[in-house]
Structure 1
């Protein structure tokens, strides 16, 4: 027997899709507490006319799983149920919602619409027990005409929501499966003679320097207005200067208004252009997410997202993988973010069965596909920030997607159409790829990608701009290698940038729960923890790195000249204040303002540099460049052999070789298995010799992995130098090695009762963590923080907190200070827990501080890469030295 929610069909009883408009007609929000009853199956036993007295209450917007009804589940590709479209499991959790509503008295006359902005996944709505319609398309707005169902008194509004439906096969979008009414609900008064819809096309002619405006308006009466007019006194809209104008359309019955921006998006000569200038996306993929509320994201959280993006030079958002809340698009229009808006379609799970039964090529699903595309385009057709429509994500290819592309191009020729799955560019206007390697990306930039079988189609694709709709997978510590991506983009005009995957970690609750934490057996673990900001929207080091890489002003020193590159497409550097400073050791000895004449858009200029060592030049808070002066070497007196039991105020617990790290999420997909095969995680020590001579106390140790004949030969040498101690370490690899090392150095464990509270002061790169392929955001200087603050609280504990190019550090406790100086710059990590603890922890609160402070001093470390879904660490960022020598002076 086929249930209603298994019938492949667009919404029933729905009003035509239309634009979201501000109006002076009545709007009654139905957000708030609703009566609620939950059932583990579709058979709830609740009648639609039942007002729900005595039921539980639940907030709307909200997801019922986050209020104790059922449990969240996360999958990336796999459907959490058997693939048998359009059928779904009999165990189909269902929520019954009830709300008593009263139509305002002043709404007499006209019509009343009931609007839902987001319900997951299929629902039916009744008024006083009479059905008003059904709908699916969880992230799509739908409106029902309930005029004839409202009495003017207390009316019972009933909504029955099923977790699984035929629509679930179109919503396999690498996120939590969460259900319920999760966006706003409202009653809308539609007065007689009011305005049903407005369509605006506001273009900009960059050659003539003027705008063009076309307005079509439809009334509730059988009347349609059209206006087309040139406008000479308007400023164009762009992410750099998001100039908006208020447009009002009025009748005697209603005035509607909307903000419009004048801009023209085009594809010309193989390039993506905005207002005639190159449009390069330096963007992110953004899911709707809040750690407490799931996809029921507050306006404050959306505002925080946009503010953070603008602060970090991000200029574009791909709404992965569905239309966002309409308020988010208003923010993008207002603050300046380019939007690739994506339709609520993803059938990725069919890839696991070789795309058999994929709805994208099944005629039975054609109307549903088109309905989803139409509802997105019609709602957001007037948004200035939306510069491209996307057909969906990872849904294979087929006639239904091709039909959506044709309809969209006809309905809105002002915006290009995108879809990564159309690899041959049969129906789209841009060539799109996910996670290409650097060499592959460069080849595409040169137009040298592998040829298609059809010469005509091949020529067309080579003539299109290319974007990376996903790259730089930001899972855990990383992504590394972003600067290399940006260099390739800069070198090839065909490349129109891309979108980091993704904006936010999807960790639920205060703990940041991920797949498997709710006891579910089908899940994809921590693959949902892959954002540039943590679940609470705290920026990660990856976001700082991305911001530095994509900065709109770039500085470079070339001999005694500064090269200033303006990467803005429309804005000069006139308002940027350039400064300089000279530092000796860690002290600023001189500073001033650097006179840099305004650099025009997409231009560069050379200016002379101030002379002197330790030079830093800044472009406001946008960019910096440095030429650090070398640190003064530590003075070393005469040496005599010694084996200290204490360094400064800290007793020594152990000193050992350090060639391992707690694998990052990117390591797990690339180097971790090779490192474990080589036994780097379980080296066994054997002392070969201990002796003293007239200068040193020496200890030679062989470290080797079980079952292998490779390893490391290490000599430690200690000596006293007056009140200080001197440590020298020689490390030689033994055997044949064909892989980079996680790190190579020593780990010093020091006893202290409160290791996280020890103050860490260092001279080197900072203040954030850095690795060989992630250093754009850090600068040389002196920095200080507690050891606890020096840890990056990734949701999944892993290697973190490395500081590069350190020449000296101080560890301070209430009992005194320990100063450590290196003969040459080294990598540093100081932690209140061991690498073993860090590796075993599943969540940050699994890490507890003991009485040991772990000081990791390394000759080098391997970078990060983005191999969790993308390229591994570049060879230039791998640590492969066969020998290493470290030398340090310790003083109290």
Structure 2
């Protein structure tokens, strides 16, 4: 069998060792190489190995890079060009393999890249090691015509002893797109072959330090750190700040400050011999599970985490340091303190930055075999002894490279690879090699080889049970986690359970483990919802040690259409099967690293300080320090008071430093009580913020870490849902309705006598309203497959093709009442509505609109599955002149908000252009809603302002295209200005949820299909 189809991990390689920053000479071989793509694993043959081979006619390619993202000669021939969007280019799958499931064999059609570099080596360079930091998916290497060996394991380094010659050398590398390693790398990502990380020639002088291991424990009771550094040769350890100078292998115990994510204290030093010095960055910390609670340095840890793939919209998994640092700075500023390196070891520089800036790391091995689910897990590598060496090799290379990073506190064996005896071997090896860290494997329902119970995408109800250690016994494993449904009761303890089965002893042990939510809150498109709900549960139970959102970044590529315009390419844009569609667009930041509204919401849910404002009675403020170890000495506490969204006073709160885990009670500032007014007609809102007092490495002074608001006039703090009260008073001198032909006049309004639609409000021309029950489906509305696919139900039941009927336009008592019915073709369900217009009792220049909506009919998707139909919204749709351009509102902002995603947005007065209010999701969908709006003004050049007052609140959306336009568009550039502005003034819209992978939208965030009433006051001028 050929090497690229071997279940062995490689040949000719050196033993794996710690990544290190060294003063030994390093020749960076990155840059421009020669490259030729061939259709099979035979490549271009053997000629390119020769010293005198003429590669001048080959393509030039950057190393590191992925050839599918570069301009090269395609297999079909022709001029060099980008393969983006073609079947030869990047391919995206989620679970399915892009090759036949026939392990360990691959197809003859196996695109293979031959790389060639001619480079010079100084005469005094000496012995050398050739290191490849990452090659996808399998590579064979020759130096000066001599075969050095081969390796698989794409996201892991491999090294060869390199017999370089003084002067000219020729390095030849053959890289196969598909190999046996492909079966171990099915990780919900783009398939991107090539030499995508750096290639280095590292001098090995006499006395070189081949490997070293740092042991740096911390005793929280004494404040002492214990340091021992093991080395592959006799060497000296120096940590000047600690006064340590000792031989490697010896132990020193000194007083230290411990390392944690919120206080990433590193002690710098060196490990030296006569021939080489290696930098040391020591972080003292001790990881332990105590009574079912995960702790570091004696204190419980709760990961505020995200899953992170490596991705760049132009370079794929080839990232520079600046991009990695920008990710970390954005994470820290959004109160993210933990990263799961899904689903492979990242570039080593990223981990060095985690050490320096402070992120807890769950480091995952480069292993996922998810595609075997299509074979019923038959032949799954962890269960097949022939694959054992390859799996063990991936674990060893992960651990040995990254073992010295204090940020890594958990090793993860794999992702979504079901079960097998090899996982037991991996765990046993880890217990011997590195007992200083905990071990995670989520997919095995027995959790025998895991220190954590874990799960993906549980409902809020299930998470609450897990927190109380009351989850049902037994269960089964589905696509995305353990489903506790009693379908697989535990095997009796007397029976020997096979892999995948759960014994009574396993079940009992699992219940005592800390629980880690490795994936939740699927951030695909407009979402996720319920982040704060999840975190209220997590904070309430010490068993729950944190959660990781899926995921950090959208996996989209910047592509250019035929007209030269840029757009984001996703999996559905490639004509290849299987394909994972747009499922890869599931990030808290867009592909270009622009934050999404979901990141704003996450920052609020992750706040390290909990601020509670009590405005009842004497009033006061409670502050809780929810950090792991840092006190609040670096924090400035600010308050401000606003009336009708305008700040009227501000100041500082005097708060003594609070140790981690401590709380403090403070009275409300006297100025706040003196200034708060209950008679202004608009809310008096107190805001308290925790901001950085001084510049930090990751954010400037003034950066907000936490905040809270309370409405003083009504003694209400958010989140709240106010009771709707209708003011139906009619002015004593209200004008009667006048009729002039087909026009009805009421106060400042003109109405169509036949339809009851308003045509003019004062001098403002407008049209509407229509009852609006639909929205352009979000990615979460589409669910996963047929699971939770409410968008499909909406289509089947005509929610996007509602027809309106006016039953009556009645004039009486100085009011115009319009009654009608809205329903889809072919179905009996409908909404009956009435809209009553009257002149406002307090302002004759304004009209009040009272709306009542009732639902009739079965409201199930007859004749299909009789599923209950969710109504996405209950609201009104108006058409305004296209000149409308600006919006100002009093309510939540500045970004979009929904019923289950608004707590990260403050109450205030906000301004925006209508165009800027559109969230540019790469797949058009519902966006730009605003909840809890009290007042709205829409303005534009040459038209009167439209003013809308809630009675008391409403949702609004304003855009230049309709929801149906959004629904039909495949790309943002397909959305066209309709010449109007479409304004929704709604009683409400359903939440956004996380159903593209997670559970169905909770009932409390759906729009209740019951009698709905709301009122609005409208005026123009």
Q: 1:153 deviation in Å?
A: 2.5
Aligned equivalents of 1:248, 1:578: Cα separation in 2: 40
Q: 1:484 deviation in Å?
A: 1.5
Range with greater deviation from structure 2 (595-604 or 87-96): 595-604
The answer as to 2:708 corresponding to 1:625 is yes
Q: 1:651 deviation in Å?
A: 2.8
The answer as to 2:990 corresponding to 1:868 is no
Aligned equivalents of 2:19, 2:131: Cα separation in 1: 11
Aligned equivalents of 1:636, 1:844: Cα separation in 2: 46
Q: 1:466 deviation in Å?
A: 1.1
Aligned twin of 1:646 = 760
Aligned twin of 1:655 = 769
Aligned to 1:487, what secondary structure does the other structure show?
helix
Partner of residue 614 from structure 1, selected from 662, 685, 688: 685
**Residues 464 and 228 (structure 1 numbering): CA distance in 2 closer, same or farther, change over 3 Å?**
farther
Q: Is the 8 A contact 1:649 1:818 kept in 2?
A: no
Partner of residue 140 from structure 1, selected from 149, 156, 161: 156
Aligned equivalents of 1:735, 1:883: Cα separation in 2: 16
Aligned twin of 1:43 = 42
Aligned twin of 1:546 = 602
Aligned equivalents of 2:523, 2:192: Cα separation in 1: 23
Counterpart mapping for 1:252-331 below 5 A: 252-331=274-353
Aligned twin of 2:984 = 856
Aligned pairs, number: 883
Aligned twin of 1:84 = 102
**Residues 383 and 649 (structure 1 numbering): CA distance in 2 closer, same or farther, change over 3 Å?**
farther
Aligned to 2:800, what secondary structure does the other structure show?
helix
Q: 1:599 deviation in Å?
A: 2.6
Counterpart mapping for 1:66-145 below 5 A: 66-67=69-70, 68-69=82-83, 70-108=88-126, 111-145=127-161
The answer as to 2:434 corresponding to 1:383 is no
Partner of residue 166 from structure 1, selected from 180, 194, 214: 180
Q: Is the 8 A contact 1:389 1:415 kept in 2?
A: yes
List structure 1 runs of 4+ shifted beyond 6 angstroms.
Answer: 630-636
Aligned equivalents of 2:209, 2:364: Cα separation in 1: 27
The answer as to 2:899 corresponding to 1:786 is no
Q: Is the 8 A contact 1:634 1:823 kept in 2?
A: no
Q: 1:135 deviation in Å?
A: 0.6
Q: 1:678 deviation in Å?
A: 3.9
Aligned equivalents of 1:203, 1:527: Cα separation in 2: 42
Partner of residue 557 from structure 1, selected from 608, 613, 620: 613
Aligned twin of 2:167 = 153
Range with greater deviation from structure 2 (423-432 or 227-236): 227-236
The answer as to 2:600 corresponding to 1:473 is no
1:256-280 CA distance string (max 9 Å, x none): 1121100111111101000000011
The answer as to 2:200 corresponding to 1:186 is yes
Aligned twin of 2:230 = 216
Aligned twin of 1:833 = 961
Aligned equivalents of 1:484, 1:524: Cα separation in 2: 30
Aligned to 1:379, what secondary structure does the other structure show?
helix
**Residues 763 and 66 (structure 1 numbering): CA distance in 2 closer, same or farther, change over 3 Å?**
same
Partner of residue 448 from structure 2, selected from 426, 444, 448: 426
Q: 1:630 deviation in Å?
A: 6.8
Gaps (5+ residues) in structure 2? 71-81, 236-245, 474-489, 492-502, 559-565, 677-683, 692-703, 715-724, 737-745, 752-757, 860-867
Q: 1:597 deviation in Å?
A: 3.2
Q: 1:779 deviation in Å?
A: 1.1
Q: Is the 8 A contact 2:644 2:909 kept in 1?
A: no
1:792-823 CA distance string (max 9 Å, x none): 11111111111111111111211142222222
Aligned equivalents of 2:984, 2:772: Cα separation in 1: 7
Aligned equivalents of 2:728, 2:593: Cα separation in 1: 42
Aligned equivalents of 1:676, 1:741: Cα separation in 2: 12
Q: Is the 8 A contact 2:360 2:407 kept in 1?
A: yes
Aligned equivalents of 1:220, 1:107: Cα separation in 2: 23
**Residues 697 and 299 (structure 1 numbering): CA distance in 2 closer, same or farther, change over 3 Å?**
same
Aligned equivalents of 1:303, 1:405: Cα separation in 2: 32
Q: 1:237 deviation in Å?
A: 0.5
Counterpart mapping for 1:343-382 below 5 A: 343-382=365-404
Aligned equivalents of 2:451, 2:319: Cα separation in 1: 32
Aligned to 1:762, what secondary structure does the other structure show?
strand
The answer as to 2:263 corresponding to 1:241 is yes
Aligned equivalents of 1:860, 1:635: Cα separation in 2: 24
**Residues 455 and 44 (structure 1 numbering): CA distance in 2 closer, same or farther, change over 3 Å?**
closer
Q: 1:249 deviation in Å?
A: 1.2
The answer as to 2:824 corresponding to 1:775 is no
Aligned twin of 1:414 = 436
Aligned to 1:488, what secondary structure does the other structure show?
helix
Q: 1:629 deviation in Å?
A: 5.7
Aligned to 2:635, what secondary structure does the other structure show?
coil
1:501-551 CA distance string (max 9 Å, x none): 100000111522111202223211111010110001111111111110110
1:713-737 CA distance string (max 9 Å, x none): 1223345664444433322222344
Q: Is the 8 A contact 2:333 2:705 kept in 1?
A: no
Q: Is the 8 A contact 1:122 1:164 kept in 2?
A: yes
Aligned to 1:884, what secondary structure does the other structure show?
strand
Range with greater deviation from structure 2 (425-434 or 357-366): 425-434
**Residues 38 and 648 (structure 1 numbering): CA distance in 2 closer, same or farther, change over 3 Å?**
farther
Aligned to 1:690, what secondary structure does the other structure show?
strand
Q: Is the 8 A contact 2:134 2:155 kept in 1?
A: yes
Provide the TM-score with structure 1 as the length reference.
Answer: 0.96
Q: 1:334 deviation in Å?
A: 0.3
Aligned equivalents of 1:220, 1:604: Cα separation in 2: 50
Aligned twin of 2:513 = 464
Aligned twin of 1:821 = 949
The answer as to 2:508 corresponding to 1:486 is no
1:218-273 CA distance string (max 9 Å, x none): 1399xx96433243232110001101111311111111112110011111110100
Aligned equivalents of 2:830, 2:149: Cα separation in 1: 70
The answer as to 2:601 corresponding to 1:579 is no
Aligned twin of 2:628 = 569
Q: Is the 8 A contact 1:481 1:873 kept in 2?
A: no
Aligned to 1:306, what secondary structure does the other structure show?
helix
1:144-187 CA distance string (max 9 Å, x none): 1112xx22221111111110000000000000011101111111
Range with greater deviation from structure 2 (511-520 or 184-193): 511-520
Q: Is the 8 A contact 1:81 1:89 kept in 2?
A: yes
Q: Is the 8 A contact 1:170 1:346 kept in 2?
A: yes
Range with greater deviation from structure 2 (133-142 or 552-561): 552-561
Aligned equivalents of 1:744, 1:661: Cα separation in 2: 10
Q: 1:884 deviation in Å?
A: 2.2
Aligned twin of 1:200 = 214
Aligned equivalents of 1:194, 1:225: Cα separation in 2: 15
Q: Is the 8 A contact 1:730 1:884 kept in 2?
A: yes
**Residues 545 and 271 (structure 1 numbering): CA distance in 2 closer, same or farther, change over 3 Å?**
same
Provide the TM-score with structure 2 as the length reference.
Answer: 0.84
Range with greater deviation from structure 2 (325-334 or 698-707): 698-707
Range with greater deviation from structure 2 (78-87 or 587-596): 587-596
C-alpha root-mean-square deviation of aligned residues, in Å?
2.1
Q: 1:409 deviation in Å?
A: 1.6
1:778-802 CA distance string (max 9 Å, x none): 1110000111111111111111111
Counterpart mapping for 1:698-737 below 5 A: 698-719=817-838, 722-737=844-859
Aligned to 1:772, what secondary structure does the other structure show?
coil
Q: Is the 8 A contact 1:731 1:885 kept in 2?
A: no
Q: Is the 8 A contact 2:763 2:1020 kept in 1?
A: no
Aligned equivalents of 2:946, 2:711: Cα separation in 1: 25
**Residues 586 and 487 (structure 1 numbering): CA distance in 2 closer, same or farther, change over 3 Å?**
closer
Aligned to 1:366, what secondary structure does the other structure show?
helix
Partner of residue 970 from structure 2, selected from 819, 842, 847: 842
Q: Is the 8 A contact 2:36 2:44 kept in 1?
A: no
Aligned twin of 1:805 = 932
Aligned equivalents of 2:650, 2:209: Cα separation in 1: 61
The answer as to 2:194 corresponding to 1:176 is no
